[in-house]
Structure 1
Amino acid sequence: MRKTKIICTLGPATEKLEMIRDLIVAGADVFRLNMSHAHADEVRRLVPLIRALSEELDRPIAILMDTQGPAIRTGDLKTELHLKPGDILEFTVRGAKSEEAYSVDVNYDDLINDIQVGDTVLVDNGVIHLLVLEKRDNRIRCQVLTPGTLGSRRHINLPGVRVNLPPLTKKDIADVTLGAELGVDYVALSFVRQESDVAELRALLAEHQSKARVMAKIEDQSAVRLIQEIIKSADAIMIARGDLGIEVPFEELPIIQRKIVKLCAHLGKPVVVATHMLESMIHNPLPTRAEITDVANAVFEQADAIMLSGETSVGAYPQECVRVLDRVALRIERSGGAGYAKEALLEDVRQKTVASAVVLANSLAQAKIIVFTRHGAMARNTSNLRPEIAPIFAFTPAEEVRRQLALSWGISPVRIEFSDDPNATIETAEKYLRDHELTTPGDNLVVISDVLAGEMRVDTVQLRTAR
């Protein structure tokens, strides 16, 4: 039973019903809707389709809506610009006209205020490097440092520059409103820079009575500097290595990834490692050895989930990509993990109760952990402590909680109705596990539940033997 979860991005290669079914069968746990490319009509079609397949296959599947965010992009060009080192390229804003041979307008008017002479500008996912030489009359004069071909609507990165863009654009607000209406399980906020960005998305979701959980994407130096407060404010974290790898020196990226995974383990927040996991498999049926090692490293660090982007949205081998992640994760998990969970912060009695249950499960052969949760917190606390061998079966009466727990490491979420008598609920859960051959007679069942003590409900850890 694989513990590391797999996120698949849907796109032109995987938007049909049969392909989505194949991805679920191959091992997908979460589907990502990338709102940089997905349209509202497509989202309205895909969400109920995923829900129906999830029910048909009896697999809890979470839906993650990923906002486009406040991206800075170049405008349209009549013809591509073939740039070489030493050329001058001028960015224009607010309708300014350039006198240079090479120029392009930019969609962010305040770029002229945020950027300074001497700053580095990276264009087209970091392919083209530019140095700012001069600012005047809504024009930014830059020298080309690396050769490249500039096309229309290319992304601009400004390493180390604090920009004054809002955390949610008009498009993002419309998309999140749609996601709330359709009941998506997670909303990922792109280009998070500080805690207040997360709060703004959370307020928008609350305004629409959405129970979606907030995932903060770490994509630039501002977020890395304020990582602890961002982790504390969000429900989950995504290490978005595409833009992040452009914003920071590439040799720093593995260190930043490890630091974030460790901090998430310490603070008890799910963490996703994303981007370029199996990039070569967009076109090739087999991964490179380096990609296998990269995936293995994320699994060894015990990230909650690993994510496929272009590999499944536009790639030629989407099912094969999922099978590769599944195969590598299963093998690496058998060899042990980094053990970052040993430093997990236990702040309240309930977390310490869960910790005692995990210690007990780790000491027993043939152990299974059963946790009962109405809102998901007890199950996530259990997952965050990364039990060494025991799988986690989380039982909940709430369908949205069942789906949301599909993202969390090691959890197999199950929906059952809770009885007023906690003991009857435990019996129902045990029967479910027996009927689905998930336990065998003699297994040690470590049960985290409440029990009735007079008129009070008391959290307990019980040790039962499977029948």
Structure 2
Amino acid sequence: MAALLRRTKILATLGPATDAPGVLESIIAAGVDVVRLNFSFGDPDSHRARAEAVREAGHRLGREVGILVDLPGPKIRIGHFVDGKVHLTAGDRFDLLARADAAPGTAAEVGVSYLGLPGDVAPGDVLLIDDGMMHLRVTSVDGQRIATEVLNDGELSDRKGLNKQGGGLSLDALTEHDADLIKVAAQMGVDFIAVSFCRTAADMHKARRLARAAGSDAYLVAKIERAEAIENLNEIIDASDVVMVARGDLGVEIGDAELPGQQKKIIRESLARHRVVITATQMLHSMVESPIPTRAEVLDVANAVIDGTDAVMLSAESAIGRFPVRAVEALARICLGAERQFDHDTDFEAAPRNLQRADQAIAMAAMFVSEHIGVRAIIAITESGGTAGFLSRYRSPVPIFGLSWHPGTRRKMALMRGVIPLDFDSRGMDTRDAVHNGVRRLFDADLLAVDERIIFTSGDEMELRGATNTMRLLRVDETGNAEILGGL
């Protein structure tokens, strides 16, 4: 192989730091596979401009770069303070007012954005503000006023987020504003739409209906960041295309001690159910200000990679950090190092039985053959990206080349672990021509060499979704063409 290929994919959040001249192209060149547009900040016009810049930069660099839109969801925030911030002391009383006309806050009280909060809390509940930096214990609820006792000294400033320890807030995952933003995302032609604070599969089904009604075929991403989502994890995974371990709010709700185990569980269950999974939040948070990560961050990223995550994500590190390019470079370096450490053997005894789809069976067979006879690569001609996705569920050092004529399919494959998407138009070709031209495509790009063995999967019909039903074992001959060694 001409170059060492990183299997774990990298997402980077765009923001002011990536708007600087040359930075966007530099982070893509450094290894970004998918960019995140955080719709909690900015306006549709600024997001459209960034999306257009991503498409242009990817085209210049010859890279397939996906775009993920992150919906705001029902984030609960406190209001503004008269002086922008207050200092609270443990033992003080501090009230939350669930009123739309609440006055600017003081050290005695502040408004909250969720007017239904009094109905979701009771004396003894603990509320967490600013990602858990401030703890408040509810002492009484009187109409729209929630009286609390401050549990720790600290400073509180405008518009900080609020969570309830242990979960239990009854807000719907999708607000009317989210529904409007899904239409914006559809108009932009984004590849992924992330649903914040989902609680059940119904939230994901609703988001999918809204996206399809708006004309979007984007993959739906379930952000697991509520305690209730953990209780309904498998049904949410099944209703989604991609799952994100959103460790910020999730850690606040379930507690730091529970977070590592739940992260591993979410990754494990997502892979078992054939879903792409992203690990996110504070992966390299020190690099917002520092040019190098801490050792603890290196270990955190590496452990997620070893656990099998498809992708790792940068948030503030790339959006507002001082060293966005270095952060991407560090993430790529850590991922490659971690991938060299784990055992590549797939446990086929643990693989699913009674497969109902031909493309799933072909993917499993391809991985079995690749490990037992040794091949240099697996090539999958795919209309929808489904076969490449199934192949990527099996841990293997063999790179998977996903060949598709459809740009949207290629950008979706950019998020799949171990899959390298390439432009290849097989429309109108018979199977034999598709095999030879596909192999030649990789040979001419110096991705294959003479005498290397490869596995090639395709369908009898080149333009049908889910039609993969054939696997061939090939050798690259002296002219760069495919010599068939065997097939199913």
Alignment TM-score > 0.5, same fold: yes
TM-score, structure 1 normalization: 0.95
Deviation at 1:133, TM superposition (A): 0.5
CA distance in 1, matches of 2:175, 2:402: 37
Q: Percent identity?
A: 35
User: In the alignment, does 2:50 pair up with 1:46?
Assistant: yes
Counterpart residue number, 1:435: 444
Alpha-carbon RMSD: 1.8
List runs of 5+ in structure 2 lacking aligned partners. Answer: 462-466, 478-488
Maintained 8 Å contact 2:79/2:104: no
Counterpart residue number, 2:373: 364
TM-score, structure 2 normalization: 0.91
State which of 88, 95, 98 in structure 1 corresponds to 2:93. Answer: 88
CA distance in 1, matches of 2:443, 2:246: 40
Deviation at 1:163, TM superposition (A): 2.2
Deviation at 1:287, TM superposition (A): 0.7
The 1:77–1:344 alpha-carbon spacing in structure 2 relative to 1, beyond 3 Å, is farther
The 1:85–1:92 alpha-carbon spacing in structure 2 relative to 1, beyond 3 Å, is same
Deviation at 1:451, TM superposition (A): 3.4
Deviation at 1:147, TM superposition (A): 1.2
Maintained 8 Å contact 2:450/2:476: yes
State which of 433, 451, 459 in structure 1 corresponds to 2:469. Answer: 459
CA distance in 2, matches of 1:99, 1:289: 40
State which of 451, 456, 464 in structure 2 corresponds to 1:447. Answer: 456
Maintained 8 Å contact 2:81/2:105: no
Instruction: Kindly tell me the number of residue pairs found equivalent between the two proteins.
Output: 462
Maintained 8 Å contact 2:344/2:397: no
Counterpart residue number, 1:64: 68
The 1:365–1:338 alpha-carbon spacing in structure 2 relative to 1, beyond 3 Å, is closer
User: In the alignment, does 2:298 pair up with 1:289?
Assistant: no
Maintained 8 Å contact 1:6/1:27: yes
Name the stretch that deviates more: 96-105 or 137-146: 96-105
CA distance in 2, matches of 1:166, 1:319: 37
Counterpart residue number, 1:213: 219
The 1:40–1:460 alpha-carbon spacing in structure 2 relative to 1, beyond 3 Å, is same
1:162-194 Cα shifts (integer Å, max 9, x gaps): 222222223222222111001000000111111
CA distance in 2, matches of 1:312, 1:443: 39
User: In the alignment, does 2:277 pair up with 1:268?
Assistant: no
How does 1:99-110 map onto structure 2 within 5 Å? 102-110=108-116
Letter in 1 for 2:144: N
How does 1:141-156 map onto structure 2 within 5 Å? 141-156=147-162
Counterpart residue number, 1:398: 406
How does 1:115-194 map onto structure 2 within 5 Å? 115-194=121-200
The 1:222–1:340 alpha-carbon spacing in structure 2 relative to 1, beyond 3 Å, is farther
The 1:205–1:341 alpha-carbon spacing in structure 2 relative to 1, beyond 3 Å, is farther
Maintained 8 Å contact 2:79/2:105: no
Counterpart residue number, 1:389: 397
How does 1:226-375 map onto structure 2 within 5 Å? 226-337=232-343, 342=348, 343-346=350-353, 347-350=355-358, 351-375=360-384
State which of 407, 410, 415 in structure 1 corresponds to 2:418. Answer: 410
State which of 23, 28, 38 in structure 1 corresponds to 2:27. Answer: 23
Deviation at 1:356, TM superposition (A): 0.8
CA distance in 2, matches of 1:447, 1:106: 57
CA distance in 1, matches of 2:86, 2:30: 43
Maintained 8 Å contact 1:81/1:102: no
Letter in 1 for 2:471: V
Maintained 8 Å contact 2:86/2:107: no
The 1:99–1:303 alpha-carbon spacing in structure 2 relative to 1, beyond 3 Å, is closer
